[in-house]
Amino acid sequence: MSDDPQARLRSHVDAILAQGGVPAQEREPLAEELYGHLLEKWAELVAGGLGADDAAERAVRAFGAHAELASQLRTTYHGRLWASTIGVLLPVVAQASSRPGAVAWLRFVLGLVIALTGVGLIGIPSLTPVRLAANFVVLVLSVACAILAFKALGRGQRWALGYGIGACLVLFVEGIADTVAKSGPSNVSIPLGSILSAVVLLMVLGQRPELEAFVAASRRVPGWLVVLLAIALLAPPIVPRVLAAVPDPTQAGPGDMVLGISTICDRADIEVEGLSGPETLRNLQRVTVVVDATWSRADLLPSGLGGLLDGSDGGDTAGVSLRWDPESQWIWDTAPPPIDVESGRTIGAAGSTSPSESLLPVAVMNGYTFAIDDDEIRAGHTHRMTFVLRPGSGRTTPWPAAEVYYAHLDRFVIAGSAECNTTSIGRPIYSAADASLDGESPLLPATVPAIEKVGIVEDVRIYPDKVRYRFADGSVREVQTEVYRTLNAHEWGGFGLVIVGEDRDGPFVAAFLEQDGLPRGCYVENGIGIERGAYIESLGVLWAKAPGFTSAVDPAFGEAYPAGARFCFSDDGQITTVIGR
């Protein structure tokens, strides 16, 4: 027998085994058996009078197409599921050319994707049940497909080339989006992933003919596998963001808790610690704020499986701040611990906070707080927190009103206020899911800013990197434009009121101008304002109301002032009046 017919028979056996998914230890004996069959058939045909080459072709044809036989072997060794998935994606392809350099870089990017996705898996146990399950499926699918693509690309599979290019595109877009989101005036983040993937994509473009030749022998994969691969590629950047915006059905939402607030103002004999021992102050003013948080539903594994094993490191925080005459002062008289009304159990600590405090306005954090153990939250139970306050001085003091904020984990904040001897129900003012829907990072409640400088400006000089204000009192203040942000449409301001301050988001400049038709000394903000008790929330900041504050309209706590309302700032930076349309 000449070499050519023999080579023809051998190459047919090789083609079958290349795609047959045969375990390594069985490949050689099976090859020997198949080759022996072909050789015997060939010899029979030659003995029957056929030429050597024709006999080889006939023997190969009678044996069956290599793809069909390989498919049967895959099913035999691995079952139908393996044969129709990995068996299609992974077999070695008879490569028509040597491996182009871009393949190594695409595999490097795939390796990076595998590593990054693996890191993502570390944070999974702390997620709530539905998010945990969904993220787990997505990340495992993504890792599995990236590993398959990594291996298959080295074997010349066309689908893996497409997957690698797709991974580069995803990495590029994600890096750019991340950079846009994180970069601010004072910081710039460099999208290393985007730079790497852009370089690799350029390399792929430059080596297109070589890559095309490299995968030329690859078979097409079925449509449903293409869809699965596309999901594996796109789901990791998309699914966590979508899930963050959709409430986990296993977790309580703002609608599952009623926050009742009662403010009782009365007089009582109060025992205090005097210089010479306990003494009783007769008929002293007393304010008792009773906050009842009644849960109709409790969270299932609020800190995920990690919380189940390690215990929750979260918790709730309730805080109260009082609106009172700045001249007066109220102090916390007694601090009974928060209790579960139904069981009588102590469920937290007075004068303490939990990590959820980050959701509360600064004004509350300067007030009085309770920390609640979230493991104690039970459906149908009411948690009661009682704040008892008395005047700091012996003088009769104007009665205050109470503003109460309750933050549940990092999920939502419910707030409300109650004047003396009234009861009210709190309203949701923040939910992490809604904030996520708005894009960017969660929109935390506005805070009371620290005011660095407030005054009427007589001169403004704008330089490339800074703005210089000369105030009416003769003082001069410069702000770096890279460090400070502007809050409103007046940007760096004109000849009007300028407030330089800092809140949770960093340093800012707010500028307000007088308007025709309004009283002199009224520096106006025309934007949206939300009633926040002693404050009005506008431009993302809580602005204090001035003593003697008046308003043409009187929205409930948490409600927006009507469109067209104008907020008059005095030259000390407080809101004196709200003027209707």
Partner 1 sequence: MTGPRLDRGDFGLLLLGLIAGREMYGYELVAELRAKSEAVIDLPEGTVYPALRRLEREGLIEGRWVDVAGGPRRRYYALTPQGQRALADGREAWRRFATAADGMLGR
Binding positions for partner 1, rule: CB under 8 A = 16, 26, 29-30, 32-37, 39-41, 62-65, 68-69, 72-73, 75-77
CB of 37 to partner 1, least distance (A): 5
For partner 1, give the closer residue by CB, 37 or 345. Answer: 37
Beta bridge partners of 466: 480
**Tokens at 107, concatenated:** 């595999």
Cβ(576)–Cβ(548) below 8 Å: yes
CB of 53 to partner 1, least distance (A): 19
CB of 9 to partner 1, least distance (A): 11
CB of 64 to partner 1, least distance (A): 3
CA–centroid distance for 279 within its chain: 54
Supply the DSSP string of 184-225, one letter for each residue: BTTB----HHHHHHHHHHHHHHHTHHHHHHHTTTPPPPPHHH
Q: Report the distance separating Cα 510 and Cα 491, nearest Å.
A: 8
For partner 1, give the closer residue by CB, 81 or 552. Answer: 81
Q: Report the distance separating Cα 1 and Cα 52, nearest Å.
A: 7
Q: What angle do CA 437, 443, 448 make, to 5 degrees?
A: 160
Residue showing tokens 């977790």 = 251
Closest CA to 157 of 217, 200, 225: 217
Burial class (CB within 10 angstroms; exposed 0-12, middle 13-18, buried 19+) of 224: exposed
CB of 28 to partner 1, least distance (A): 12
Cβ(292)–Cβ(257) below 8 Å: no
CB of 8 to partner 1, least distance (A): 15
Buried b (16+ CB within 10 A) or exposed e, 60-88: beebeebeebbbebbbeebeeeebbbbbb
CB of 33 to partner 1, least distance (A): 5
Handedness of CA 362, 367, 373, 374 (dihedral sign): negative
CB of 89 to partner 1, least distance (A): 20
**Tokens at 235, concatenated:** 């789901």
Q: Within 10 A of 307 (CB to CB), how many other CB atoms are there?
A: 20
For partner 1, give the closer residue by CB, 66 or 545. Answer: 66
For partner 1, give the closer residue by CB, 71 or 436. Answer: 71
For partner 1, give the closer residue by CB, 77 or 108. Answer: 77
For partner 1, give the closer residue by CB, 37 or 490. Answer: 37
Residue showing tokens 């490569």 = 95
CB of 315 to partner 1, least distance (A): 57
Beta bridge partners of 428: 414
For partner 1, give the closer residue by CB, 40 or 325. Answer: 40
Q: Hey, is 408 helix, strand or coil?
A: strand
CB of 240 to partner 1, least distance (A): 43
For partner 1, give the closer residue by CB, 45 or 259. Answer: 45
**Tokens at 398, concatenated:** 């104007």
Q: Report the distance separating Cα 338 and Cα 377, nearest Å.
A: 12
For partner 1, give the closer residue by CB, 69 or 388. Answer: 69
Strand pairing of 485-486 and 506-514? parallel
For partner 1, give the closer residue by CB, 35 or 82. Answer: 35
CB of 219 to partner 1, least distance (A): 18
Q: Within 10 A of 443 (CB to CB), how many other CB atoms are there?
A: 16
Q: Report the distance separating Cα 210 and Cα 214, nearest Å.
A: 6
Integer-rounded Cα radius of gyration of the chain: 36
CB of 112 to partner 1, least distance (A): 39
CB of 77 to partner 1, least distance (A): 7
For partner 1, give the closer residue by CB, 16 or 252. Answer: 16
For partner 1, give the closer residue by CB, 79 or 249. Answer: 79
Cβ(520)–Cβ(573) below 8 Å: no
What's the half-sphere exposure (Cβ side, CA atoms, 13 Å) at 269?
Answer: 4
For partner 1, give the closer residue by CB, 62 or 192. Answer: 62
315: left (phi over 0), alpha (psi -120 to 50) or beta: left
Cβ(499)–Cβ(510) below 8 Å: yes
CB of 69 to partner 1, least distance (A): 5
For partner 1, give the closer residue by CB, 15 or 456. Answer: 15
Q: What is the phi/psi pair of residue 539, to 5°?
A: 55, 25
Cβ(360)–Cβ(414) below 8 Å: no
